[in-house]
Amino acid sequence: MAHSADHDKAALLRTSDRPVYVIGGGPGGLATAHALRSRGVRAVVLERSDGVGSSWRGHYDRLRLHTTRRLSSLPGLSIPRSFGRWVARDNVVRYLEKYAEHHELEIITGVEVNRVDRAPDGDGWLLKASGGRELSASAVVVATGYNHTPHRPDWPGHDTYKRTLLHASAYREPGPYRDKDVLVVGAGNTGAEIAVDLVQGGAARVRLAVRTVPHIVRRSTVGWPAQAGAILCRRLPVVLVDQLARVMAKVSVPDLTARGLPRPRTGLYSRVRQGALPVQDVGFVAAVRAGRVEVVAAVESLDGDQVVLADGTRVDPDAVITATGYERALGGLVGHLGVLRADGRPLPHGRRCAKDAPGLYFTGFTNPISGMLRELAKDADRIGKAVARASR
């Protein structure tokens, strides 16, 4: 049961039984809340927006899961077969809403947690939230998500650039760019898909600025999804997977060197271990081969109404869309607790807690090749067991 009325919020926030607070109402937070509830542990989800799955609601219209429906369901409720094999963005949101309702989860929307501290008595945690609220928790699960805060490049000249400049998080559909010249920056899955979307939506010219050449894989090959192969390979030695991926790429993905995308020198799994997932082909290869998506050098700076590229070329698109990723933005929340790595991601993950922060859990801050939703489901079960064990 998701609560939204003001009096319901007040009643939950005044509770003195110190529940487990789950920060974030995305798939990781919802799955963990269910895992706790199913073990008799009261969990309250705190979501800063006005509904669950807020990051999914904000993605571009054409987005679909790159993982199969069957391997993406959260614990206790399957994604409906009617949603198809590759689930569309809007259906992911519908599924998350149904998931919260089906499991009768306690969810408080419109509450943003700003800081997590150890409780003054050393037992449990104290959360400081919007509106001056202070909430006492027996344990805390941080599930604010991998895609929390858009990363906007601080290029020289960005503050005086005269053309349209927006992050991919603000892109929805290609209509506004029909007959326009558009430069997309960033060759990850988001950048590649937006470039294809623009081409198919009638943009006059689409260029893709690439700093690091990505690995490209077919979403499925003869009906076999890339995710299934990734699950089978993730326990194998990195060198062996790199070799297998290299052979598969030569068989299934054409050489795009002449179009500006040579095959990467670094192995696919080696790159994944560094945090970079391969691009799943959903029309990107065909668009590049046909010259409809033009690959250009990385952006170095902005100058008036022009964009300066790393090779010295200047281009003057009507709009620049930066598909440059997101930041975890955990510093203000837990940065003072010594639980973050230099790159801002948490040191502990899943069922493990930092030695000096018992009862503080994190989920959803890795980018696994085997599929984010699949790993969130596994994390939820592990965290549920760990918290239930600790409470006993």
Q: How confident is the model at residue 5 (pLDDT cuts 50, 70, 90)?
A: very low
Residue entry with tokens 């009261």: 42
* Residues 71 and 128 both lie in one domain: yes
Binned at pLDDT 50, 70 and 90, residue 223 comes out as confident
pLDDT-above-70 percentage for the chain: 96
In DSSP terms, 365 is beta-bridged to none
pLDDT tens profile 68-78: 999 999 999 99
Of all residues in the chain, what percent carry a pLDDT higher than 90?
79
Mean pLDDT of the chain: 92
Q: 235 and 197, same structural domain?
A: yes
Query: Is residue 55 located within the same domain as residue 94?
Result: yes
H or E segment and range at residue 308: strand 306-309
Q: pLDDT tens digits, residue range 259-312? A: 999 999 999 989 988 878 899 999 999 999 999 999 999 999 999 999 999 999
Nearest Cα to Cα of residue 35 among 99, 89, 131, 86: 99
112: confidence class by pLDDT, cuts 50, 70, 90? very high
Same domain, 24 and 112: yes
**Are 258 and 383 contained in the same domain?**
no
CATH number for position 76: 3.50.50.60
Mean pLDDT of 368-390: 92
DSSP string, 318-375: SEEEE---EE---HHHHGGGT-B-TTSSBSS-TT---TTSTTEEE-S----TT-HHHH
pLDDT reading at 8 higher than 80: no
**Of 267, 296, 322, which one is at a domain's C-terminal end?**
322
What pLDDT score does 121 carry?
86
Q: How many domains would you assign to the chain?
A: 2
- Number of alpha carbons in the 13 Å side-chain half-sphere of residue 42: 8
Supply the range of the domain harboring residue 112: 2-148+328-391
Listed residues 322, 342, 359: the one ending a domain: 322
Q: Can you give the pTM of this predicted structure?
A: 0.89
302 and 337 housed in the same domain: no
